[in-house]
Homo-oligomer: A and B are copies of this chain.
Amino acid sequence: MNRPKIVILGGGFAGIECGKALAKVDADVLLIDRQNHHLFQPLLYQVASAGLAAPEIAHPIRSIFNDQDNLTVRMEEVASVDLEARQVKTSGDLIDYDYLVMATGVKTGYFGNDSWEKHARGLKSLDDATAIRRDILLAFEQAEACDDPAEREKLMTIAVVGGGPTGVELAGAFAELARHVLQRDFRHIDTDKAQIFLIEAAPRLLTMYDEELSNYTERSLTEMGVTVLVDTPVEELREETVQLGERTIEAANIVWAAGVEAEPWTRNLGVETDRGGRIIVETDLSIPDHPEVFVAGDLAHCIDQSGTRVPGLCPSAMQMGQHAAKVIRDEIEGKTGKNYKVRRQFRYFDKGSMATIGRSRAVAESMGMKFDGFIAWLMWLFIHLLFLVGFRNRIAVLMQWFYAYVRYRRGARIITGMGNTP
């Protein structure tokens, strides 16, 4: 057999871990991503809320693999995958593979209401984050110059749709930005009057957490000045308007954190997917009838060996990436065949999960224990610094946080990309 060709699609947590775990395998590994950087998504909301600079939470993918000779990185967009021909088609090329790991993650999804996309920005890339930062800072600038009270109120209103971790983190960060950071900046408007709405269709925030933590989160956000609306499905999004049954919220900025779905190209694979387009995998993470193709990370709909539905979190993505790499390595090294039943089966190790609400406030669950408040917040800080890729980024982020904590400021509140403004 020739030296096998392994293609990894996506340089997120799953793809990076998969690539690293293939370091000692006698194969040619190609990692394809449409960006040149690995993005530390858990801190993306801090770029959107002017707390961190974009480069501080990103790391060039090439630099992660500088010393791994068997892996090549290519920056290209995936157009389609032909499972029968074992080929990946990118914008410019056809690439053969012996093994394929699909780890392209998910994008913002609007439950089929595609027209909503132009009224509410999602938060998936650095460009999304700097655009949200720009639009929110710009709205406060416009409010400062505005004489019409109704217009001014709208400019100072931010609606966050979706009460999961991202929505909670965004709403908390926006409240702090308006009430503490921007407070001293303006002469005509009182940013304390800025309204931040957090809108969730389910009966409580953070539905995957223990109810006690949901309650703590709602209480904390309310204290911080966020108007939390649970049990409140969004009926319709129009320009600068959120329609909730009878109630209408006028907001210059609407951020969508309510749903994700797979990229369109996954729909043409001819494999079974769930409603969000996630690919349903076997317990070894391969797809039915294609033992040479694996799915890892948010793109996988996976019930693991113990019957647990694997959640869409960073630790699960990392574990799945590593697992796919191990199965491929076993097979290349002759330890198993293509029969998925004799392969290693994936078992998700639940280390817990956490969400931050604001300064000194967070919630965390781990190993059956619950934490909230300052202790959860310290855990959150520690874990995020630990997993952030790149020593330089860690120091920079630590420094920014320390400064933000001591001085209650956010240093990245600059408006860029004005050429972009619609």
Interface residues of A (CB under 8 A from B): 35-37, 53-56, 58-60, 62-63, 66, 72-76, 92-93, 126-127, 130, 137-138, 141, 144-145, 184-188, 390, 392-393, 395-396, 399-400, 403, 407, 409, 411-420
Contact = CB atoms under 8 A, between A and B. Distances in A.
17 contacts: A53-B54, A54-B414, A54-B416, A55-B411, A63-B184, A63-B185, A63-B409, A66-B184, A66-B185, A126-B416, A127-B417, A127-B418, A390-B411, A393-B411, A395-B399, A399-B399, A419-B420
Contacts of A409: 63, 392
A396 B393 contact: no
Contacts of A72: 187-188
Contacts of A411: 55, 390, 392-393, 396
A75 B395 contact: no
A393 B410 CA distance: 11
A366 to B, nearest CB: 32
Contacts of A93: 145
Nearest to A76: B145
A4 B87 CA distance: 73
Contacts of A400: 392, 396
Contacts of A55: 53, 411-412, 414
A418 B35 CA distance: 9
Interface of A is mostly: mixed
Contacts of A92: 145
A396 B399 CA distance: 8
Contacts of A395: 399, 403
A100 B23 CA distance: 65
Contact of A417 (B36, B60, B417): B417
B56 A126 contact: no
Contacts of A127: 416-419
A144 B413 CA distance: 35
A144 B32 CA distance: 13
Contacts of A37: 414-415
A50 to B, nearest CB: 8
A5 B186 CA distance: 19
Contacts of A59: 414
Contacts of A418: 35, 127
A54 B129 CA distance: 14
Nearest to A36: B415
